[in-house]
């Protein structure tokens, strides 16, 4: 086993992934042995166990795989509710959960969406852990 030299600049760590996302780049892990896409990147492939994980930019376009509306939010997000969340299958094969910038009634399985990135709001910083405070948030916008 290798990669004992991981540090916070490596996109296979969360700080490294979110630093790239803040610059507008969505990075995925791609297994060199089986092709599985890992979002966010991580040191090992869950599909085959390989640790030969390359980091590659991922398409931000995808389609809604499943979706719902959060009506009873966690206390930290009470002011946002109701809001739509979805699992999106991205064009390069990975799947990612996120909020959708659309009303629930206007979303359907198969809808085309694109991932956008924004800075955390003051309210989101308030409930963030110290090390998360500057991490960006992603949201899927209908195309």
Judged by the rule CB under 8 A, the positions of this chain that interact with other proteins are 14, 18, 38-40, 46, 65-78, 80, 83, 85-88, 95-99, 104, 109, 124, 132, 135, 137
| Element containing residue 116 per DSSP (H, E) | strand 112-118
* Residue among 14, 46, 15 nearest 30 (CA): 46
Q: How far is the CB of 53 from Zn ion (least distance, A)?
A: 8
Identify the sign of the CA torsion 100, 101, 104, 108: negative
Nearer to other proteins, 2 or 50 (CB): 50
Per-position x/- string for 36-55, each x denoting binding to Zn ion as judged by CB under 5 A, each - no binding: x--------x-xx-x-----
For 68, how many CA atoms within 13 A lie in the half-sphere containing its CB?
5
Work out what residue 15 binds among other proteins, Zn ion, none; the CB cut-off runs from 5 to 8 Å by kind: none
Q: How far is the CB of 3 from Zn ion (least distance, A)?
A: 15
Per the CB < 8 A criterion, the answer to whether 113 and 140 are in contact is yes
Nearer to Zn ion, 34 or 127 (CB): 34
């Amino acid at each position: 086993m290798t990669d004992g030299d991981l540090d916070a600049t490596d996109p296979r760590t969360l700080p490294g992934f979110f630093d790239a996302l803040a610059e507008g780049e969505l990075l995925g892990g791609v297994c060199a042995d089986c092709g599985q896409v890992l979002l966010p990147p991580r040191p090992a492939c869950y599909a085959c166990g390989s640790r030969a994980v390359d980091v590659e930019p991922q398409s931000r376009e995808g389609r809604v795989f499943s979706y719902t509306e959060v009506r009873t939010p966690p206390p930290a997000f009470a002011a946002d509710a109701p809001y739509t969340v979805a699992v999106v299958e991205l064009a390069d094969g990975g799947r990612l959960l996120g909020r959708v910038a659309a009303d629930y009634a206007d979303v359907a399985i198969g809808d085309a969406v694109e991932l956008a990135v924004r800075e955390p709001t003051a309210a989101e910083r308030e409930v963030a852990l110290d090390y998360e405070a500057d991490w960006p948030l992603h949201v899927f916008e209908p195309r």
